Structure 1
Amino acid sequence: MHILVVNDDGPPSRDGSPFVHSLVNELKAQGHFVTVVLPNRQRSWIGKAHFVGEIVRPTYYYPDRLFQSNDPPPLDHSSNEGNHHEHPWVLVNSTPAGCVQIGLHHSHALHKRDQGEERPNPVDLVISGPNLGANTTTLFSLSSGTIGGALEAALCGKRSIALSFEPPSKLPSYDSDMITEASRHSVRLINYLYHNWDEGVELYSINESHVFSDPAQSVAIGEPFREVSSGDATTALDDNDKIQSPPLLRWEPDLADIHGSTDRTSDMDDDWMVRGGKTRYVASGTLQRRPRSPDGLIMAVASVTPLKANSMHAVQAEGEIELDA
């Protein structure tokens, strides 16, 4: 299978984008042909945006050995370091949605092919992620560059999956054992979804939470939680920072209301499942237990949210509008 991988966290780095290299390795280990097109820098919270009028400048990037990428590569030139036995990744000054368009429609021009090597087959599946942090609830889903990339692929007629990892709070995000197990579990789940794609589904959003425990790996089907309290996403700087009028504003959302509201909801939304560590696997209406984690330490808990690539109208608001004369 030819898989296109994009993300919104950019090229591998220990702090900002710790997961994508491991996922690509696991996909290749399963025999898939993988094309990687990533933003050349962090593009989180950008949704399905495109840069209008921007000239896209692709650069080639050869990743270091797995778990050796401490810092992202330079933005403006191709890297000649890394593993030259693999196809280079492509970094672009664009968004996740832009990476999808480039990967789907221009990958043949970007692939460095040896003499006699055939042109790659069309892309069968687009994976957007893995994101550092869960993309649950409607609030985060509407803003997510990870989901935005998957939406772009769906609108291009491709099956797509948005993948997000929520690392345990007591561990650093760059834990090699956790990342490897998370990637393996994700590839198994992605393979299942691709071969058991539900009718009417245009993309899936997977959120995985990983904790140190002994119970079985589990997955649950959930839907985005919708009820949130209103609040400002920007905070005014204090008096010491006010050096001119009007005052400067810092983007500093207060997420306590969102997390508090999910604590009060049912167990059938994606955020409650991921944060609560549910131990269920639900697929096609059946309840199953997954095999135990090989090392007996890491438990992968995932919510799978089937989505449509549209902004569905409110059904109760249908009808004509009659204005007074």
Structure 2
Amino acid sequence: MRILLVNDDGPPAPASPFIRDFYIALSRHHDVYVVLPAQQRSWIGLSFLIDQPAVGYYYYLKRDPSATAETSDIGRPLKNDEICRWILITGTPASVANIALTNIYTDIDVVISGPNYGRNSSTPLVMSSGTVGGALGSAIRGFKAISLSYGIMEQPTDPASIPMAHEWAVHLVNHLISHWNPEADVYSINIPLVKSLPNAVAKYTCIQKSTFDRLFLPSLPSNPSKPTTTTPHIQDGAPLSFAWAPDIRKLIECSPDSLDTDTDAHCLSQGNISIVPLRANYETCYTNNTHNSTLPPRGSTIAK
């Protein structure tokens, strides 16, 4: 299979620790082509930056994982100490996927977006995720796509759980490719990084419905990225400046008893692997036989 690999965490870095080894594991089974955002683009969903050009360059991965990759504006042959050539583009995951599928690697069978550094379960995280956005962007371009996320469930993370997660991910990718549901546009996989991962069970689930709490706190214009308080309210006359300070505790620290048992969040809480089949659309919800019905005309009294 010809697989396009994208993500939202960007090239190897402390905030993108999984992409290198997952690429190596996946390449043992498939022809893998890598096009990534040039920088981290988390929490950006299915979005496109339309007011600036998307500029790309080549990224040469070294055999020594501690060595710094070389970059070049123009492609060149690999050197002896390099294992592959990737492409980095200054864009969102959805932008990068669309550019790659349309302009660079047009003969692709499946797109994988990830592995994300952190879970993408429950509606707020799924709908905000650049990883899921990269997969959805590929699906609305007409390609099968898989979103892959590794949940940080234990601190510190067991180092042995990471190669095990790669092993699970490759196994699940191979299975889904061979057993693709024609009703699914995207599969969202969440793998928990836990010591018990070798004994985990992979389950089809649905998305846990939930909501966000606070995402921003007041800040000063002189230092806009640093919150000045731990409460979200501002006094009248205070500067209208706000810093990114998400409170997602109810999404990642919730009790399993508070979760629906057939959902991605509950599955992860049990140390198991969640797979959610998704359609790349916003499904319409009809209630009380409202489908194809007519609303009251303008100016009429609305019945209660």
**Superposition pairs for residues 69-148 of structure 1, below 5 Å?**
86-108=83-105, 122-148=107-133
Partner Cα distance (1:73, 1:204) in 2: 33
Contact 1:135 1:144 in 2 (8 A): yes
The 8 Å contact of residues 61 and 83 in structure 2, kept in 1 or not, is answered as: no
The answer as to 2:227 corresponding to 1:221 is no
Code of the aligned partner of 1:92: I
Distance change >3 Å, CA 107–CA 149, structure 1 → 2: same
Of 213, 217, 224, 1:231 maps to: 213
- Deviation for aligned residue 1:11: 0.2
Decide which of 281, 301, 312 is 2:283's aligned counterpart.
312
In structure 1, give the amino acid aligned to 2:24.
N
Give the Cα separation in 2 of the matches to 1:136 and 1:104.
27
Verify the 8 A CA contact 1:164 1:207 in the aligned structure 2. Answer: yes
Alignment correspondent of 2:273: 302
After superposition, what is the alpha-carbon deviation per residue over 1:115-156, rounded to whole angstroms, capped at 9, x for unaligned? Answer: xxxxxx710000000000000001111100000010011111
Q: Distance in 1 between matches of 2:260 and 2:2?
A: 38
RMSD: 2.8
Q: Distance in 1 between matches of 2:146 and 2:229?
A: 45
Q: Given that residues 7 and 128 in structure 1 are in contact (C-alpha distance below 8 angstroms), is that contact kept between their aligned partners in structure 2?
A: yes
Q: How far 1:83 sits from its partner (Å)?
A: 6.1
**Residue ranges of structure 1 left out of the alignment (5+ in a row):** 109-120, 278-300
CA distance in 2 between counterparts of 1:125 and 1:233 reads: 34
Does 1:201 pair with 2:176? no
Aligned partner of 1:56 in structure 2 is 54
Contact kept in structure 1, 2:63 and 2:81, CA below 8 Å: no
Residue of structure 2 in register with 1:186 after alignment:
169
Mapped contact 1:201–1:308 kept (Cα < 8 A): yes
Distance of 1:11 and 1:23 partners within structure 2: 12
Q: CA 1:306 to 1:214, structure 2 compared with 1: closer, same or farther past 3 Å?
A: closer
* 2:151 corresponds to 1:151: no
Q: Hey, what's the Cα distance between the residues in 2 that align with 1:61 and 1:263?
A: 46
Point out the more displaced range, 36-45 or 85-94. Answer: 85-94
> 2: CA distance between counterparts of 1:249 and 1:72?
36
2:6 equivalent in structure 1: 6
> 1:192 Cα deviation (Å)?
0.2
Residues 156-175 of structure 1 mapped to structure 2, 5 A cutoff: 156-172=141-157, 175=159
Matched residue, 2:16: 17
Closer, same or farther: CA 72–166 of 1 in aligned 2, 3 Å: farther
Query: Cα–Cα, structure 1 residues 312 and 128, in superposed 2: closer, same or farther, change >3 Å?
Result: same
Q: 1:66 to 1:45 in 2, by over 3 A?
A: farther
Deviations 1:1-29 (A, max 9, x none): 1100000000011x200111111111111
Asked if 2 retains the 8 angstrom alpha-carbon contact of 1:21 and 1:66, the reply is: no
- Measure, in 2, the Cα distance between the counterparts of 1:131 and 1:170: 17
Structure 1 residues 82, 51: CA separation in 2 closer, same or farther (over 3 Å shift)? farther
Per the TM alignment, residue 57 of structure 1 is displaced from its structure 2 partner at its CA by 1.3
Aligned amino acid, residue 244 of structure 2: W
Question: Unpaired segments of 5 or more residues in structure 2?
Answer: 219-226
Partner in structure 2 of residue 116 of structure 1: none
Deviation at 1:214, TM superposition (A): 7.9
Query: How many equivalent pairs are there?
Result: 281
Q: CA deviation at 1:210?
A: 2.2
> Could you tell me the percent identity over the aligned residues?
31
Please give the alpha-carbon distance, in whole angstroms, between the structure 2 residues aligned to 1:64 and 1:201.
37
Other structure's SS at 2:58 match: strand
Distance 1:151 1:82, change over 3 A: farther
1:2–1:35: 8 Å Cα contact kept in structure 2? yes
Q: What is the TM-score normalised by the length of structure 1?
A: 0.78
TM (norm. structure 2) is 0.83
